[in-house]
Amino acid sequence: MMKPDPFQYALKSNEAWANYKGHQNPTFFPKLSEGQAPKILWLGCSDSRVPETTLLGLQPGDVFTHRNIANIISPTDLSFLSVLEYAVMHVKVSHIVLCGHTACGGCAGALSDGRIGGVLDAWLTPLKAVRDAHEAELKGIKDDKARMRRLAELNVAKGVEVLMSSYVVAEAIKERGLQVHGVLYDIACGKINDLAVGNSSKGVPGQKATKEQPLEIVKGNHAMLVFGGSGASMAIR
């Protein structure tokens, strides 16, 4: 039996999904067509295993997104800068989430002494600089998977540093309390770990709202991502 063509299968899947969503909520797509007002800017890796809306349990319209190889945040990347400026200045997101992940091919490439070839070697230069800056620590980690995970964490920390130095981000933090979060997604268990970098401290699951730090809820049809003043937690509602 012939396997279905991946693209044709995707189209059929899209048709089934669109029909289901339209039947479940007839106003869903008409409302989406009127505009967007996401609260989250997600900066992540292009890895197919890390689809932000899916793993957050959210819906189309909830997350503004930019992804690239190894979630590298470069102050000279015009694609990233245009997304950042639009999301912060025009969409006015409340949260920026920079997400790295385990088993990252970019981290594996950066830890290797060999060339990958083509433009990828140039693209991974900032990640290799992070590797070199933490050479002693990384060499002290004998397990390959653990070493890759640690480099992914360090890469997120460096990316958050770049974000925080951006004028666009700094002004939004000052003027309206924009929050920047650095997290790591563990592919093996499907959970996101707050790395406690950025301008918000690590969240506590089940944290209650306070007058000084009210909870903000980003709604989806099946779940809600609840942000407090010091982190985020998922709640099924």
Supply the residues annotated as catalytic: 45, 47, 49, 101, 104
The label of the residue with tokens 């349990």 reads 57
Task: Specify the DSSP class assigned to residue 114.
Answer: S
Was 47 annotated as part of a binding site? Answer: yes
Was 194 annotated as part of a binding site? Answer: no
Was 104 annotated as part of a binding site? Answer: yes
Maximum CA extent, the chain: 62
Count Cα atoms within 13 angstroms, Cβ side, for 104.
33
Cα 53 to Cα 50, 102, 150, 224: the distances in Å are 9, 18, 25, 11
Q: Rounded CA gap, 111 and 131, in Å?
A: 7
The label of the residue with tokens 């997600």 reads 42
To the nearest 10°, the Cα dihedral for 205, 208, 213, 216?
70
Residues 6 or more apart whose Cβ sits within 8 Å of residue 74: 80, 126, 162
How many Cβ atoms from other residues are within 10 Å of residue 229's Cβ?
17
Q: Rounded CA gap, 61 and 68, in Å?
A: 20
Q: Are 75 and 168 in contact (CB under 8 A)?
A: no
Using DSSP's 3-state secondary structure scheme, residue 41 falls into strand
Output the known binding site. 45, 47, 101, 104
- Binding residues for Zn(2+), as ranges, are 45, 47, 101, 104
